[in-house]
Structure 1
Amino acid sequence: MNNSAINVDQLNSALNSLRVLRSSVSHVFETLSNGLRADHGEDGKDKFLLELQELLNNVNINLRDLEQTVNGLPIPTAPFNLGTTSFLSHETTQDRQALYTQLVNSYKWTDKIHEYSSFAHTLLSQNSLKRSYINSGSTKRRGKLQSNHNVAPLQVDNVINNIDRSYSDMKITISRPFASNAVVQINLSHVLKAVVAFKGLLMEWVMVKGYGESLDLWSESRHFVFRKVTENAHAAMLHFYSPTLPELAVRSFMTWLHSYVNLFSEPCKRCSCHLHHTSLLPPAWRDFRTLEPFHDECKQ
């Protein structure tokens, strides 16, 4: 009991030394924040420095006293007895521990997800529609699907030549500068030129330029209207993309591209103007279904 009393007294002494040190440090910062005062007089700067030096000396003395007091404290051989404070970590009151509420909400959410997924599985298993080429429940072996990226060049030529014969004002030329993949050059009347790169029967790249420009796959047109048509052609290429019906996709795209034969002659269906009043461009957009011309600003 005597040792315990001595330890408590030493601990109180150390705490008092710490409190004095903190008070002296606070006094230093308070003096620095106040700066020169009126009571410093004419030699205010020198008096202020002397006052600050005295305060720092007090801090040094208090720090030395605290170190001596702390060094005199015995090292505890066992953990301190925290008493009833050890039960603070076991607090499970809902309004004091936010984690408990989050865990309850997570449990309810997970339980609902499990319930809804069970209902969805029951409904989907009763659906008799087969929308996939893969039927895991069927014992029949389906034929291997043909890849439209690897098509004989003769088949590609036949498809494109049939399209070429369908239009008298659109000339289509086939070349193969990159092995067996076709590059199709299109001359649409005296309006525009286009080049389409194929991978088998699937279109992969489109570039549209003016009728008097040199045609290649990568450089854009110097005219803004044909750069806009190129953007729309990429959108059309993605719109008509069909890996299961590639011939229909190519024919639909060529039909859409042929609608630009009246690029500079037919007005916009929305505003009935040839040139838009802000962009000063002709209707460079063609509807995918009706092929009607619209300005980009009028198509919404």
Structure 2
Amino acid sequence: MDFPSIPQAKHVLNMTNQAIAATQQLRTTVTNVFEFLRDGMNADENSTQSSSNQFLQRYQELLQAVNKDFTELEKLGNAMTTVPELSVTPLGPAGQLGMESSADDNSLFQNTLLAYQWYTKSHSRGQIAHSTFHAYKRTTSTSATSLLKARRGLVSNPPQTVKPHHFPANQLDNYLSNMLPRQVPDLSIKVIFSLGSTRILHITVEHVFFALISFKSLYIEKIIVRGLDEDILNQAENPDMFTSSRYECMRQITDHATSALLYVDHYPQLQIDLKPRFILTWLQNYKTLFSDSCNKCGKILSAGVPPTWRDFKTHAPYHSTCK
């Protein structure tokens, strides 16, 4: 919120006083016109032509005075600057401080508003710190209680959490080869490289592109997207996970896929088998890459490139410059 400086406030106050004085002058001249018409002409003056001319001349002078005062008031009104709106933040009775004419009182209102904003921000951050501390306290207390019960023999088999990097190899192969293809039936999925806990999947989005996805156990390390007419293997006959596509739209989709990996990593509470499913479901929406129009501009092509961005929640298509 922008506040008027003291010179601006003084200027507005000066213009307001001039406008009030001009309004009073206009009321006086208008009153003179009506009083003159009320008195009219004397009976003995109605008979002479000169008296009639003098009456009309005086009436014309009074009207010209009214017109002059009205023009002056209109100029003052147009020259006045608009006072910034200070009632956006609800301060209750403190908002009345802005009606004071003294510059010191106006600065008091400004300082009060700044103090209120500082208090609101501090209160909000205090609430966040309070909730974070109690969440940490509950987690620590739960862990300590579980450990104490385990030492006392009250918990025979404490729950074990399987981490993505320690997923059993046989279960990993079964998941990537059988379970995952059934979850996203519109994609062609096959394992083309397997060494230790590393797997590389070849994903084909029908008639659009293929993607190479590198898994470290059940954790996705990298995604690269290329056109259907581009090479899958490098000169050593291994899956090429480093060469960028020669097509601009495929390079953009690779960047967006990397963003999708970062997005899904922000949700550690998700089960480890749901993250690959999320990524492949998101890639599945590119099957209409060359026919979808942008949800913002309504066009199919922008700078010769189709809408390569898909929203993570709604899967709506957007150009990279429109998202």
Query: What TM-score do the two structures reach when normalised by structure 1?
Result: 0.53
- Which of 248, 253, 273 is the matching residue for 2:274? 248
The C-alpha deviation readout for 1:48-70, integer Å capped at 9, x for no partner, is xxxxxxxxxxxxxxxxxxxxxxx
Quote the Cα distance in structure 2 between the aligned partners of 1:284 and 1:189.
16
Quote the Cα distance in structure 1 between the aligned partners of 2:140 and 2:223.
30
Quote the Cα distance in structure 1 between the aligned partners of 2:219 and 2:194.
17
User: Which residue of the partner structure matches residue 155 of structure 1?
Assistant: 171
The C-alpha deviation readout for 1:190-247, integer Å capped at 9, x for no partner, is 1000011111111001110011111221111011110000000001012123555111
Q: Given the alignment of the two structures, is residue 290 of structure 1 paired with residue 306 of structure 2, yes or no?
A: no
SS at match of 1:246: coil
> Map of 1:232-243 to 2, 5 A cutoff?
232-241=256-265, 242-243=267-268
Query: What TM-score do the two structures reach when normalised by structure 2?
Result: 0.50
- Contact 1:271 1:298 (8 Å CA) reproduced: yes
Quote the Cα distance in structure 2 between the aligned partners of 1:177 and 1:211.
23
- Contact 1:274 1:282 (8 Å CA) reproduced: yes
SS at match of 1:273: coil
> Map of 1:76-115 to 2, 5 A cutoff?
none
SS at match of 1:208: strand
- Which of 262, 273, 276 is the matching residue for 2:299? 273
| Unaligned 5+ runs, structure 1 | 1-115
- Contact 1:185 1:196 (8 Å CA) reproduced: yes
| CA apart distance, 1:163 | 2.6
> Map of 1:26-175 to 2, 5 A cutoff?
127=134, 132=139, 135=142, 137-138=144-145, 139-141=148-150, 143-160=159-176, 161-175=178-192
| CA apart distance, 1:159 | 2.6
1:181–1:134 distance in 2 versus 1, CA, 3 Å: farther
| CA apart distance, 1:253 | 0.7
- Contact 1:170 1:186 (8 Å CA) reproduced: yes
Quote the Cα distance in structure 1 between the aligned partners of 2:277 and 2:132.
38
What number of residue pairs does the alignment pair up?
179
Letter in 1 for 2:311: D
| Unaligned 5+ runs, structure 2 | 1-122, 151-157, 233-239
| Bigger-Rg structure (1/2) | 1
| CA apart distance, 1:143 | 3.7
- Contact 1:181 1:200 (8 Å CA) reproduced: yes
SS at match of 1:282: coil
The C-alpha deviation readout for 1:15-66, integer Å capped at 9, x for no partner, is xxxxxxxxxxxxxxxxxxxxxxxxxxxxxxxxxxxxxxxxxxxxxxxxxxxx
User: Which residue of the partner structure matches residue 209 of structure 2?
Assistant: 192
Quote the Cα distance in structure 1 between the aligned partners of 2:226 and 2:272.
25
| CA apart distance, 1:258 | 0.5
User: Which residue of the partner structure matches residue 179 of structure 1?
Assistant: 196
Quote the Cα distance in structure 2 between the aligned partners of 1:189 and 1:293.
17
User: Which residue of the partner structure matches residue 228 of structure 1?
Assistant: 252
- Contact 2:184 2:281 (8 Å CA) reproduced: no
Letter in 2 for 1:288: F
- Contact 2:183 2:277 (8 Å CA) reproduced: no
- Contact 1:202 1:243 (8 Å CA) reproduced: no
Q: Given the alignment of the two structures, is residue 211 of structure 1 paired with residue 228 of structure 2, yes or no?
A: yes
SS at match of 1:185: strand
Please identify runs of 4+ aligned residues in structure 1 that moved more than 6 A.
128-131
SS at match of 2:174: helix
Q: Among the aligned pairs, what percent are the same residue?
A: 31
1:274–1:181 distance in 2 versus 1, CA, 3 Å: same
Identify the structure with the greater helix proportion.
2
Letter in 2 for 1:297: T
1:178–1:243 distance in 2 versus 1, CA, 3 Å: farther
| CA apart distance, 1:126 | 9.0
- Contact 2:184 2:280 (8 Å CA) reproduced: no
- Contact 1:209 1:226 (8 Å CA) reproduced: yes
- Which of 289, 297, 318 is the matching residue for 1:263? 289
Q: CA RMSD in A?
A: 2.9
SS at match of 1:272: coil
